[in-house]
Amino acid sequence: MTDVPERAPLTRDFFARPVVEVAPDLLGRTLLRQTPDGPIALRLTEVEAYDGENDPGSHAYRGRTARNATMFGPPGHAYVYFIYGMWFSLNAVCCPEGQASGVLLRAGEILTGAELAAVRRPKARSARELAKGPARLATALDIDRSLDGTDLCAGGNAPLSVLRGRPPAPELVRNGPRTGVGRDGADHPWRYWIADDPTVSPYRRHVPRRRTPTAT
């Protein structure tokens, strides 16, 4: 892909691969959000792979539901979900249609439109914190469930797309366990990030929730 311009959208074939191949290859790519107030461009610095029905950490592990239906569709589309009743998270659907794999876009560096992102992220103490974590990324880029199913390969004036960008040198790519994943998928080394990048979010191991004792 060395002869493809940086601002060209990634192709459908790019996403139609095993999720653990797509995830590290998304580092350094440009996520472009077209908002009514102007564009916001972000360089991806941290992602996580989720392998559908083969992965206990995936929303698709127990099969298709109304919530995760987009994951079972064509690759190269956005899967957006609401979590903890507070935040949205953005994923890129991977693999051939029906396999329900996806890459969680965890963090990135705002390249353009930082002033627009800052309006939505007033508690960010610096530019590096604007999209440092999946909920912050979605908030900074004004992403919600209305964008679920958006074609990330459309380019042009599409509301959301992933462009070729500038992948990092291979020696700068790191991987390890995913943040907050419990059960059998806790130790899968499917979190990928760019070494020493200040926008990468801190790793947090899964902590099981304590059940409140029932009064008798």
Residues 161-189 pLDDT 10s = 999 999 999 999 999 999 888 777 788 99
Q: What is the pTM of this model?
A: 0.90
* 30-34, 86-90, 146-150: the lowest-pLDDT one: 86-90
- Which contacts (CB < 8 Å, 24+ apart) does range 67-75 have? 68/100, 70/148, 70/149, 71/100, 71/101, 71/102, 72/97, 72/98, 72/99, 72/100, 73/97, 73/149, 74/12, 75/12, 75/15, 75/16
Mean pLDDT of the chain: 90
- The answer to the question of residue 181 being in a domain is yes
CATH number for the domain spanning 176: value is 3.10.300.10
- The answer to the question of residue 205 being in a domain is no
What is the phi/psi pair of residue 49, to 5°? -95, 140
- The answer to the question of residue 213 being in a domain is no
Token pair, residue 170, equals 């291979």
Question: What is the distance between the terminal CA atoms of the chain, rounded to a whole angstrom?
Answer: 65
Q: Residue 15 belongs to what H/E stretch?
A: helix 12-15
% pLDDT > 70, the chain: 93
User: What domain range includes position 41?
Assistant: 12-194
- The answer to the question of residue 190 being in a domain is yes
Number of domains within the chain: 1
* 12-21, 36-45, 200-209: the lowest-pLDDT one: 200-209
- The answer to the question of residue 1 being in a domain is no
